[in-house]
Structure 1
Amino acid sequence: MTKARTEARTRRRGGELLRSIHAAVLAELAEVGLGRLTMEGIARRAGTAKTSLYRRWASPHDVLLDAIHDEHPEEAASPAADDLRGDLLRALQQLVAWMQTPTAAAAAAIVAERKRYPELAAALYERVFDARGGRFTLTVLRHYAAHGQIDARRITPVVADIGEALVLKHALDADAPPSDEQLAAIVDEAILPAIGLGLDRPVTAR
């Protein structure tokens, strides 16, 4: 076996082990909660040695943050900045899809216990949410502002929160994620008007 093939095989095995550890920490969290999350439990569930975990992470919470980070979606706006409505809708669809994953449940568990684990909650925002672009739709809005399609001054903290807030409120009220039609209504009736646009106005309006 050549050196290149050996290295590729080693990388592949390393990736498989990492995915196994990430799946294990999410499953362990769901079963025992933040307060009882341990390296021993993660290692046992992943089928690896605890020492292997300590070579890469200092604590079970570090393992958890890495797992959430690696599975957190990252928005990608149209390069030409020519489909604002579509990009905003796709960003909210990403949010809805992510909300139904184990990593979203893990993030929610951290936020729910932020008073008990303030440093962990702060790290969640810094190492995951902020690192992946902040609020959903914010990357899209900033992209279009950078291309002169919308006024950057309109992208206030309140406007950045609108899409996420309405999606989460609908999910809470209805105990179900919003449909594509409801996501379109959020874009058309809330986000676009908030940045000075509407269905009857082109996205290039300033």
Structure 2
Amino acid sequence: MGGRTRRRGDALLAVVHQAVLDELDEVGLGRLTMEGIARRAETAKTSLYRRWPSPEELLLDAIAAAFPVEVPSPAADDLRGDLIRALELMIEWSRHPTSRAVRAVLAERHRHPELVDALYSRVFEPAGRRFTATVLHHYAEVGQLDPGLITPVVEDIGEALVIKHAIDTGQEPTPQRLAEIVDQAILPAVHGSPTRR
């Protein structure tokens, strides 16, 4: 039997998303083209243009499709655990190809400022801006935290300390370090109290 299996819908979308990420890894943002993506995905370039006007738009779509959003405890009864899980989610995502894509886009901020703006407005903002921010705002909405204490600086604490640890050590933070970040930095900032063991 010859010929390729005709892919549609979600199956084709997954292949195209993977193709744009692989193409970005190989050629870089400045040389990303619909031709290269279509060739890698084994689909027609015209099919891509029917859905995305540019390779950058396709790349944003691929990043958005894989970008995670924290799901806090519905009862809002485990702030510490929810914050730790949010940082774990950040680390899990950091291993995904879309994390490399985000770093590639941010590294080209001076050449593609409009793409960076779109990354924030269409990917990060709908997902809650920062890891842990969704959790913090959820607890504020149900009256467990003072919303006035959840400032942009407080929203940044968890991400910033995870990234600093990775830069300083070349390794992902351990579960113990994540707990320390929550207990010693985030919870005191929102006037929470860590669970003592």
Report TM bin, short chain. Answer: over 0.9
Shift of 1:13: 2.8
Number of corresponding residues:
191
- The reply to whether residue 97 of structure 1 matches residue 92 of structure 2 is yes
Structure 2 counterpart of 1:142, which letter? H
Structure 1 counterpart of 2:21, which letter? L
Structure 2 counterpart of 1:85, which letter? R
CA distance in 1, matches of 2:22, 2:171: 22
How is 1:123-202 mapped onto 2 (pairs within 5 angstroms)? Answer: 123-199=118-194
SS at 1:159 equivalent: helix
How is 1:16-165 mapped onto 2 (pairs within 5 angstroms)? Answer: 16-165=11-160
CA distance in 1, matches of 2:131, 2:118: 18
Gaps of 5+ in 1: 1-9, 202-206
- CA RMSD of superposed structures (Å): 1.3
Shift of 1:175: 1.1
SS at 2:8 equivalent: helix
1:68-122 per-position Cα deviation (integer Å, ceiling 9, x unaligned): 0000001110001000000000000000010111000000110111011000000
Gaps of 5+ in 2: 1-5
Identity of aligned residues (%): 62
CA distance in 2, matches of 1:184, 1:113: 33
Shift of 1:200: 6.2
SS at 1:70 equivalent: helix
CA distance in 1, matches of 2:194, 2:135: 18
Structure 2 counterpart of 1:18, which letter? L
Question: Partner of 2:3 in structure 1?
Answer: none
Could you state the TM-score of these two structures normalised by the residue count of structure 1? 0.90
